Structure 1
Amino acid sequence: MTTDRKIFKEFLNPGAAYTPIPFWFWNDQLDKKLLRQQIEGFQEKGVEGFVLHPRLGIPKDIEYLSDTFMEFVAFAVKEAHQRKMRVMLYDEAMYPSGAANGKVVELNPRFASRGLHATVYEEVQFPFSIKLEEDERIVAIFVLDKKEKEYDPGNILCIYPEQNNDSYTILNKQHGIQIESSEHHLMKNKQIIVLSEDYTNGTIRGIHYGQDDGEKYAPRSADLLNPEAVKAFIQLTHERYKEVVGEYFGNTIVAMFTDEPDITGRNSKPGYLAWTEGFEHELINEGYRYNDLLSLFFDSANAEQVRQDYDRAINERMLASYYIPISEWCLENNLDLTGHPEKSDDIGLLKAFHIPGQDVVWRWVAPENDKGITGPHSTAGKCGADAARHFGRRRNMNEYLGVCGKENTWNLSAADMKWYTDWLAVRGVNLFCPHAFYYSIDGVERSHERPPDVGPNNVWWPYYRLFSDYMKRLSWLMTDSVNEAKIGILTLNNQLPWKMARYFFENQMEFNYVHEDLFLLNKVKVIGNILKIEQQQYEVIILDDMQLEQFNPRVATVLYNFISQGGKVYVISSTLPIKQLKQIHYLSYDQLEKMGPFSRFQQIQLESRSSNIRVSKVWKGKQYFYFIVNEGEEPFSGNIQFSKDIPTEAWDAWTGKRHSLEFSENKTNLHLGYRESIILTSTINEEAPLRLDDSTKEVHTLEVQLVPSRKDGYWQYSGLQDWQETDELTYYSGAINYMLHFQWQAKKADMVVLDLGSVYEIAEVHINNQLVGVKMWAPYEFSIPKQYLRDGENEIVVRITNNSAVAMDQQPQPSGLIGPVKVKVIAQEGDLSHEENISSE
């Protein structure tokens, strides 16, 4: 299979449709001139869109959704329109979504978030009065035995609303209820538990000072399970945007972004579960009794099942009351709904999204400590991507990098930003939403509100075009393509297991998450021994530490049909069940070491095993691509083997370069450095240069002399050292130029390489006033084109940029060019033996 000659050019310059679309924090006094300048700056760096995001720091005289505020919105949208850029509107001020900065509750106080809570009473004297808050409603009252561990739902007396016992009478009073009994007092081994529904006093983070978490004017969150409250939210927010900028819907304005709506709100009263008026009837209609509601708060034999069904019911109600109405409004108005739910594995809620999404924030996912492959947040990348695959959505989005600096500071290196981008792309994300570009960093209240700025106010901004081009190329690769995953991991709608996912990642086996709702929506088709969902075809289904009984019976019906036609279902668990179904294969985790039944699903075979190499094989039209990522902290080098679809060429999405591959018995050598990725494919070989093999070459080094300079912005010292060792640079973030000289006389070199040694953190290199390149992570090695060199003295200027955290956090850390600096000359053996001024390395 060979690609069309145009496809590499398309890959190099995919176009604005694949642009990153960052959050643009509007967080200060707005000025049209500055708005225009920033939009121009975005586009100059290859950023062809933005999410217009009101943020903490906007002054109170620019009230959210007011004429003044909307005038700035209209201006920014018009500026984007003139530049053919893309805009997403953010539906809140600030977050979580659904409150319209408190305007929903201002419109009707009964629209405030509500929750269910439990109160335990002991040593009660009758008649017993319970005072209720305004709009508080009793859901159920129980009399039961005290228990130290768990309750027995079958041995609980519900005295309200069922009133199954003549010993108790419930009387409604003006501000509460009164319980009367034939007994004078409650027996010592008994207690009364009251479940009541009340306002949670939850809030959101607002956009004006005084509106943040815990502050006096924090806006009240809305009851998102109440359809009337959501209608008010849409009327206040979405219709207001339509009124002002509706003419741009479907062209410049492409989507509405909803952000982690929280039913109870932030900082809600402790012990409250998501609820709304009359919600208990939805559980009762599902076959539960009032007694079972206690299991939401207290342990019992059926607590796990009750809580699972409660979660299902809440999410179904949330879909019906919030996500679907907003999704339908967007569809009617030529917009896509994008954004993400509150939790990292809420995959079932994504069916309402036209561009499913998730977020990766707070460094919950990170390069260190296996955070990329362990824990519930490690599923966030595939959550949105797999939802898109199975719902037939072309794009999926991830909001990432927010508070992802080390220790939640500005200390996010360009190398780590690259790691996060690769981490998402190899899992299938194809729309990158960097969090965030700050309109202003004036004052710590702005600069350190969910830092860092990953755009214009970061020291790496001069080089951001490298990142925007890279994101575009990866977005292009992962759009309109189908990954060749033959393994599906079965999941609930709100719980994505990660143990088997880790195993598959570490062994270069591709999988997708297949969630419960797909079966109930008839998205799953059994075709022979294949489970087909949209364009995905699975030969194996995995239950990771779960049992079929946890799922809707429809799931088991489909899977047994799949098994009967030759499909394979595995239950993999730390504790295997005593009762095992014959049709299903059972394995314990320690039986996976030999890889057994899954080895045939390896996309590539590594001669030297590496648990840090990730692979996604996708088909884009009739062309296949292997996207291979090094997620580890060390370089990888070794032979890789392909059993089929053998590639002939390597494409580097970061540099835009390509080279041919050399194979022997279906094997080729792969070298992936720290923070590197590569794309392998089969193409018309004549277009690609052959990579130089330096394994049999002779390597020599040239002497390099540091030249101190008194020019502004240049290194003035006679030796290389950490900036932190000089008083004036201890808290400096920015760039410094280093001038170096070397003598060139060798004529027969095949390659000349500049090795800068240790660098913190970005190096831009010029040779004789010619740009050689930019490196943002080790190894800091640059191939110097021989035509840039001249006989005699050659001048190197190295521009080093350190980390923004040094100045922004007043956090000293290694900075500068440390070296040692070498110029390496690589040539055929013997070619350099008679050259002068060359020393053997």
Structure 2
Amino acid sequence: MNAMPGIFWYWNADPTPNGIRRQLTQIRAAGFRSVYLHPMPDNFRKSDFKSGMKMRYLGRKFFRLARTAVDECRRLGLRFMIYDEGGWPSGTANGELVKRRPEFGIHVLERRADGSIAPRNAGIDCGYPDLMNARATKLFLTLVHERYRRELGDEFGRTIGGIFTDEPRFFGELGSDAVPWSPCLPEHYRSRYGSDVEEIYPLLFRLPEVTAEAEAARRRYLEAYATLTAESYYGVISGWCRRHGLPFEGHMNNEDLHSLHAASLGDFLRCADRFDVPGVDAIWRQIHPESGNGNYAKLASSSAIRNHRKEALSESFNVYGNGVTGQTMYWAGNAQLVRGINRLLPMPFPYSDRREAKVGCATELSPRNPVWNALPALTAHWAWAGNYDTGAIEPEVWIFYRPEPFSDKAAASAFDAMLEALQEKLNDAFVFWRFAGVDDLAAATSKKLLIVPGEPMLPEQRRAIAGFAAAGNPVVRHPAEPLPDLAQYACICAGTERGIRVLPCRRPEGESLMIFNESTERKLLTFRPRAGECWRELAPPDPVHAELEPFRTSETKCELPLVPGELRILTTGKAVPPSPAGSAEAKPTHLNWIVRSVLRSRIGEHITCRREPHSPVPLPASGDFTEGEPDFSGVIELETEFNAAEPMPRYLEFDWVAASAELFVNGRSAGLRAFAPWIFRLPPLRPGRNRLKLVVSNPLGNEWRARYPEMKRTGQTNSYAERIAGFTPDETRIGVSPAAKLYL
């Protein structure tokens, strides 16, 4: 049973059996393959989320309803995934673990005002567990995982397809006045380094000047607690999951900022080695056309490659805002797909639409938001494009992964900027690369180009790099040394091209190239096939653009047209001649749309989408319905007629649609479009008059924006809502361009 794509299903109220069945049917109809049950108990972060499910987390009623959900998933062909916490971060058992065993709480080492240094149990206040204590992790398994096994274990490995852990975290940071610590750490440090960790305590805190001795001490300390966490938390849980036939998956924290996650977590790769499906978080618009392209997702895919895992995942969209469109989700999904993320997990679908719970979650992806109408097109694309083996191909170029703390914030920011620029340089040159750690250097069996950003400080790192170079592998210390000619490492012969990203991957159809235009411009990618190469295009679920502007290939040249945000896939095999549609005649036309009906979305005590009486009126000349109603969110139905003449048109293309639409021709669906290009393949037309209906949806963004001042005044907002209030809306219009083209 395929688990991609999936969706996070928030139980933020007590569900009913009928409600469970209804919502799972909606999830399956939208094209999702798996559902992640995400419990949101009422006591979880009350200041932010106001209210949640009243039944006891992991109580009898909870498991009766969970069994109903598992049974319904089996009937629908959905994979049921267990989220291992009541809220987040994982490891707390919704605070129960530390209540039972306070000594298992998370610890920090503090420097007091008098200069003395002593540990403090911070878990007593926050409920977070000590990730370096294997006994705490085993208690977590007893409280949570064993409960699922007793109640639902008969479906493990069948309908139940995995367990997800989310953002387990530390308190404190090296170079501050509070440093991560555990009672288990001194013994581990002593066995690793043969000395007492207490000797370096004074060097771990904020200092007037960070000496070379202090930097070395901090790196050793970070290495010690990172390896201890990998063994005592991730290793213990993954061992339990494998003993019970369940993949272990999830993500850590702060993956999008290298220096931040390195300073707090330590070695991402060593921790992620324990995951069967490693992942990242993409909930804050870190991956968005206006704010970032997601190179950090390579951390998860790098882990998958070095451990030969087939999948890497992303938890996506939670705080993109209720104005997120299908086009934005398409772009952000494609940006991750070409970086090795092949299981996309949008979130959340809240069970309840009560005002308090909904606002706290910031983004709602459910039938209550008209953007849901775009989901079938997106899930079909994600399931098709994500059908590749992330870990199957080993790149020839590695970037050395440095899990090191930085002495100051400016140095950390400078390193992050340098690392991002290096990654973009490789991407522009079509170089397939991954992150590699010390373990990779020792295990390498073929020649690799190793790019070492900055100057690693740990003796273990320096020895490994020196040994790797001595084995005949080229090593470049960047930016101190120039990069070699990158063309020799490129996956296609095309020089460089800013904005086009290419991922070589292995699919059921064969060796393939996933090609994404992340720019805002239309592109024509031209490259030269290597000797013996023969490429053909894989038809996507909606192949209209591939039919109209096909991939063209010859012995000397390949050409692939790409609209902004588009992803297309080439695979090896016998070339297919271009479709005759590639030379179709384009005939401009102007369609005079009439607004026939309106479904208006409202945010109040509940989210509603109600049909309102609406006299037929012309759509404004601009094509934008909100020209007269600027705060409108919802669905409009447009109608028009046109006379068909010989030769009959085969395709209809609009300049734009806001934000998704389904076209009906003489009562027959011509398809759903949720992202550009806005092309519909027309069914057979009849000579003379034909009737067109276009059902256009935009998301809840306009209504949310109009309601936000009232929500803020009445205390319904939280930090998430404050964040999205500052976002530029993805799309405020609803409508369609009157100008169009008919392809004959």
- Residue 392 of structure 2: aligned partner: 482
Q: How many residues align?
A: 666
Whether 2:142 is the aligned partner of 1:246: answer: no
* Alignment map for 1:479-558 (pairs within 5 Å): 482-483=392-393, 485-493=395-403, 497-519=419-441, 524-526=443-445, 530-531=446-447, 539-547=448-456, 551-552=460-461, 554-556=463-465, 558=467
Tell me, yes or no, if structure 1 residue 700 matches structure 2 residue 580.
Answer: no
Q: Structure 1: state its 5+ residue gaps.
A: 1-15, 122-192, 204-218, 532-538, 577-585, 827-841
Deviation, 1:59, is 5.1
| Residue 372 (structure 1) aligned with residue 293 (structure 2) | yes
- SS of the counterpart of 2:227? helix
Does 2:665 align with 1:767?
A: yes
> Which residue in the other structure is 1:386 paired with?
302
Residue 274 of structure 1: SS of its match in structure 2? strand
Distance 1:792 1:569 in 2: 70
Report the equivalent of 1:776: 674
Displacement after TM superposition at 1:612 (Å)? 0.7
2:146 & 2:162 partners in 1: Cα distance? 14
Alignment of structure 1 residues 657-736 onto 2, 5 Å:
661-685=551-575, 690=579, 692-694=581-583, 699-707=586-594, 709=596, 716-720=616-620, 721=622, 722-726=624-628, 729-736=629-636
Which of the two has greater helix per residue? 2
Alignment partner, residue 458 of structure 1: 369
How far apart are 1:304 and its partner, in Å?
2.5
Would the alpha carbon gap of residues 638 and 429 (structure 1) be closer, same or farther in structure 2, given more than 3 Å must change? Answer: closer
TM value normalised by structure 2: 0.83
Residues 701 and 322 of structure 1: CA distance in aligned 2, closer, same or farther (over 3 Å): closer
- How far did residue 194 of structure 1 move? 0.8
Aligned partner of 2:249 in structure 1 is 338
The 3 A distance-change label for structure 1 pair 227 and 60 is same
| Amino acid in structure 2 at the alignment position of 1:740 | T
Flag the 1:340–1:386 CA change in 2: closer, same or farther, 3 A.
same
Higher CA-based Rg: 1
Q: 1:451 to 1:650 in 2, by over 3 A?
A: same
For 1:477, what is the secondary structure of its paired residue?
A: coil
CA distances 1:616-657 after superposition (whole Å, capped 9, x unpaired): 112347822111001112221253323345344212435156
Q: Cα deviation per residue 1:471-499 (whole Å; 9 max; x = unaligned)?
A: 211221345x6336211111135799433
Q: How far apart in 1 are the matches of 2:501 and 2:53?
A: 48
Residue 725 of structure 1 aligns to which amino acid in structure 2?
A: E
Shift of 1:94: 0.7
1:257 is matched with 164
Contact preservation (8 Å) 1:765, 1:799: yes
Q: Matched residues in 2 for 1:814 and 1:82: separation?
A: 39
**Distance of aligned partners of 1:605 and 1:297 in 2 relative to their CA distance in 1, 3 Å threshold:** same
In structure 1, what is the equivalent of residue 640 of structure 2?
740
The residue matched to 1:482 in structure 2 has which SS?
Answer: coil
Partner of 1:149: none
1:199–1:803 Cα change, 3 Å: same
Contact 2:85 2:92 in 1 (8 A): yes
**Match for residue 57 of structure 2?**
64
CA-to-partner distance for each residue in 1:786-819, whole Å, 9 max, x for gaps?
Answer: x2x2222222211111122122343796322252
Give the Cα separation in 2 of the matches to 1:468 and 1:250. Answer: 24
In the alignment, is residue 816 of structure 1 matched against residue 727 of structure 2?
no
What percentage of residue pairs aligned between the two structures are identical? Answer: 22
Structure 2 gap segments, 5+ residues each: 43-50, 259-267, 406-415, 599-610, 708-728
Superposition RMSD in Å: 2.9
What residue is the counterpart of 1:200 in the other structure? 122
> Alignment partner for residue 29 of structure 1, among 14, 31, 34?
14
Letter of the 1:614 partner, please give it. R
Pick the aligned partner of 2:518 from 631, 634, 642: 631
- What's 1:298 paired with? 206
Question: What letter corresponds to residue 23 of structure 2 in structure 1?
Answer: Q
The amino acid that maps onto 2:572 is: S
Q: 1:634 to 1:715 in 2, by over 3 A?
A: farther
Provide the secondary structure at the position in 2 that maps to 1:803.
coil
* Residue pair 1:429, 1:478 contacting (<8 A) in 2 also: no
Q: Do the aligned residues in 1 keep the contact of 2:702 with 2:732 (CA within 8 Å)?
A: no
Distance 1:666-1:708 versus aligned 2 partners, 3 A rule: same
> Separation in 1 of the partners of 2:178 and 2:670?
60
Q: What residue in structure 2 maps to residue 106 of structure 1?
A: 99
Identify the residue that residue 263 of structure 2 maps to in structure 1. none
Q: Corresponding residue for 1:97? A: 90
- Distance change >3 Å, CA 748–CA 228, structure 1 → 2: closer
Could you list the per-position Cα deviations for residues 31-72 of structure 1 after superposition, in whole angstroms to 9, with x for gaps in the alignment? Answer: 111001111222222223211110255656411111122221
Q: Is residue 432 from structure 1 mapped to residue 344 from structure 2 by the alignment?
A: yes
Q: 1:498 to 1:309 in 2, by over 3 A?
A: farther
**Displacement after TM superposition at 1:759 (Å):** 2.7
Amino acid at match of 1:690: S
**For residues 438 and 411 of structure 1, what CA distance do their matches in structure 2 show?**
17
Give 1:611's aligned residue: 498
- Distance change >3 Å, CA 710–CA 97, structure 1 → 2: closer
Q: For 2:465 and 2:533, locate their aligned partners in 1 and report how far apart those are by CA, in whole Å.
A: 38
- Partners of 2:304 and 2:324 lie apart in 1 by 29
1:222–1:265: 8 Å Cα contact kept in structure 2? no
Amino acid in the other structure paired with 1:723: F
- Tell me how far apart the structure 2 counterparts of residues 41 and 74 of structure 1 sit (CA, whole Å): 18
Q: Where in structure 2 are the equivalents of 1:214-225 lying within 5 Å?
A: 220-225=127-132
Q: Structure 1 753/202 Cα, relative in aligned 2: closer, same or farther at 3 Å?
A: farther
Alpha-carbon spacing, 1:555–1:700, altered in 2? closer, same or farther (3 Å): same
TM-score, structure 1 as length reference:
0.74
Measure how far apart 1:422 and its partner are.
0.8
What residue identity is the alignment partner of 1:599? A
Structure 2 CA distance, aligned partners of 1:668 and 1:462? Answer: 36
Do 2:38 and 2:82's aligned partners in 1 also have CA atoms closer than 8 Å? Answer: yes
1:70-111 CA-to-partner distances (Å, cap 9, x unmatched) read 221222122223334211111111100111011111212222
Change (3 A) 1:823 1:559: closer
2: CA distance between counterparts of 1:709 and 1:392? 54
CA deviation after TM superposition for structure 1 residue 271, in Å:
3.8
Task: Report the secondary structure of 2:370's partner residue.
Answer: coil
Distance between the aligned counterparts of 2:499 and 2:397, measured in 1?
A: 20
Q: Deviations 1:507-554 (Å, cap 9, x if unpaired)? A: 2111111122334xx5x133xxx24xxxxxxx3111122347664355
- Partner SS state of residue 352, structure 1: coil
The 8 Å contact of residues 219 and 404 in structure 2, kept in 1 or not, is answered as: no
Maintained 8 Å contact 1:20/1:433 = yes
Provide the secondary structure at the position in 2 that maps to 1:52.
Answer: strand
Give the SS at the match of 2:318: coil
Task: Report the equivalent of 1:159.
Answer: none
1:560/1:777 Cα in 2 relative to 1: closer, same or farther (>3 Å)? closer
Task: Judge conservation of contact 2:597–2:637 (CA < 8 Å) in 1.
Answer: no
Which position in structure 2 is the counterpart of 1:235?
Answer: 142
Distance apart, 1:771 and its partner CA = 1.9
